[in-house]
Amino acid sequence: MTLVIDLNCAFASIEQQHEPKLRGTPLAIAAYATDAATIVSSSREARDLGVKTGMRVFEAKAIYPRIIVREPNPPLYRAASDSLIEILLRHSPDVLRMSIDEASLNLAGTPDLVKLGPEGVGRAIKQAIRAEIGECVTCSVGVSTSIWMAKQASNLDKRDGLQRIDHTNLVSAFERLKLTDLSGIAEATATRLRKAGIRTPIEFLYATPAQLGLAGMRADVANGWHQRLRGFEASSFETAERKSYSHSHVLARATTSQAELEELLMRLSDMVGRRLRAAGRRGSVVSIGVVYRPDIDRLSRQSKLAAPVATGDEIYKAALKLLAARDTRRPVGTLGVGLAGLSDAGPGQMDLFSAPSAPRDARLETAMDAIRNRFGEDAVQRARLLGRAPVVRDRIAFGNTGHPDDR
């Protein structure tokens, strides 16, 4: 039997626990302290008013002008995530951290499965979270026969719930859901399923391979869904190999300054490179994204490099060429850098025509990574950035733990 534990309103509730004056108050955690920034977490009080994750700050203020907006505090969230894992390990050695606010544990063969039962373990975990992480932090617990199905169960009651899905209530549970309520089914996939005549999770459950083929699913993907929807463990979406790395920043004040944008581009490129190296990856497709203000028009450009790269300097040089496509008359409000076309770093074979400094540059970047991991993102900077404000903050991406080793 498997449990999935999902912290409710995680970032906001952890902030309320840390700072008592925020308790009982509509609170939003936004990527940056600007009205155009995206909300990444909202407290229960804010959600009850209609403030949701993914909204812009100005939209939240239109709903509730007195809403408190805070920037994220990643070290605080990582500490809570680590405490959650420590609690789960008391019940089973088989624990998977699915993201910074979600984890699963397999109770198969554990004494607590017999002693407490899966629901009893869920209640014990809830009690431990309140006692050790804080009374403001609640969680939803899902119980089922696989991680994916337990995740669906945890989503059934996001207010401190404890729900189970098994063969006795699978159909009735699915009857309560839309296609996009299922983990791994985004709107694009749901649209393809509908075109194939599959409009609900129940129809998805009973769909034939031919129908799933009409929805554009390969045979192996269709078989995976066949297993997953019936409670069998299949390949996990959470552990699928990621296809790209990116960082973006919403500026507090939109700018047309090339110098300011170049400096921001350099910081973002360094952060993407750092995450790549931590994962042992390289990439060959560099992209930039620009959002102009006040029109919110977008510009995106990408280019494929002759060879994979992983250093901030290499990413920056390629991204800088792409940035030349922007309209220099229009203020830029958001700038982003990404790297796709990923491959394993590996030792590889050195290019005969590489610059002699290439190995030294790689060692230098690795040393900088170690310093930043220990002392923070702005502990060491390129000479051009010395004395500048640390405008790009430590952030946590959804779908990972947010620990430096995971970025």
Q: Which residues are part of the catalytic machinery?
A: 102
Q: What are phi and psi of 324, to 5 degrees?
A: -65, -15
Output the CA torsion sign for 3, 7, 8, 9.
Answer: negative
**φ and ψ of 320, to 5 deg:** -65, -40
Report d(CA 307, CA 354) in Å as an integer: 11
Listed residue (215, 205, 244) closest to 336, CA to CA: 244
Cα Rg of the chain, angstroms: 23
Contacts from 39-46 at CB under 8 Å and sequence distance 24+?
40/11, 40/72, 40/398, 41/9, 41/10, 41/11, 41/12, 42/9, 42/12, 43/9, 43/12, 43/13, 43/16, 44/8, 44/9, 44/12, 44/13, 44/159, 46/12
The 332-344 sheet, strands edge to edge? 245-255, 332-344, 281-292, 298-309
The residue among 255, 260, 269 whose CA lies nearest residue 337 is 269
**Token duo for residue 357:** 């400094």
Q: How far apart are alpha carbons 120 and 146 in whole angstroms?
A: 18
C-beta separation of 41 from 57 below 8 A: no
